[in-house]
Amino acid sequence: MKHFFLVAPSLLLLILVSSCSSGWTTLFDGSSLDGWREVGNANWELTDGTVSADSGSGFLVTEDSYGDFEMTVEFWVDEPANSGVFIRCADPQNITAGNSYEVNIFDMRPDPTYATGGIVNVAAPSSVINTANQWNTYEIRAQGSRLVLTLNGTQTVDVTDDQFSQGPIALQYGAGTVRFRNVQIRSLE
């Protein structure tokens, strides 16, 4: 019994140190939009641990800028949804696929070249993964000029492109119903 009381605090300390040293930072936890600002007129709303929109057009943009990182983003969209995760935004007031990397969420894109799982104007997805009406997870890694996307455990992009090296992150609402939750990031610098 004495050994348990000596080992338990040491084990708890080890668990706490391990979880803190992982380096992950929560950008959105479902309870507030602290650290984000709105650009455009999308009707963003906090509900049930998510942020969602279903009308207007716009972005939630991080106040901070990021260079080399890996991040995870969970999203839910309906079939007609048009959305995306924009990274390394060069102009956070006027975000486009031409001044940032648009990690696309658009299953019904008229030109499917850069559908969900691709980076618009940079890399087509290697796999077609329909994401409508279910929770999905993007893992995005941006390190130097190398960009790697994984969607629901399947790597869809591994490309080298040096157009953008740093900038805020933006969550997009364009059409349909879009929800985000559990947005986390870890610096690779």
The model's pTM: 0.88
Name the 3-class secondary structure at 86: strand
Q: Note whether 136 and 152 are within 8 A (CB).
A: yes
Handedness of CA 96, 118, 58, 170 (dihedral sign): negative
Q: Going residue by residue through the chain (189 aa), what tens digit of pLDDT does each one get?
A: 554 444 444 443 344 444 445 899 999 999 999 999 999 999 999 999 999 999 999 999 999 999 999 999 999 999 999 999 999 999 999 999 999 999 999 999 988 899 999 999 999 999 999 999 999 999 999 999 999 999 999 999 999 999 999 999 999 999 999 999 999 999 998
Which residues, in sequence order, are CB contacts of 178 under 8 Å at separation 6+? 52, 53, 54, 75, 76, 77, 81, 83, 105, 172
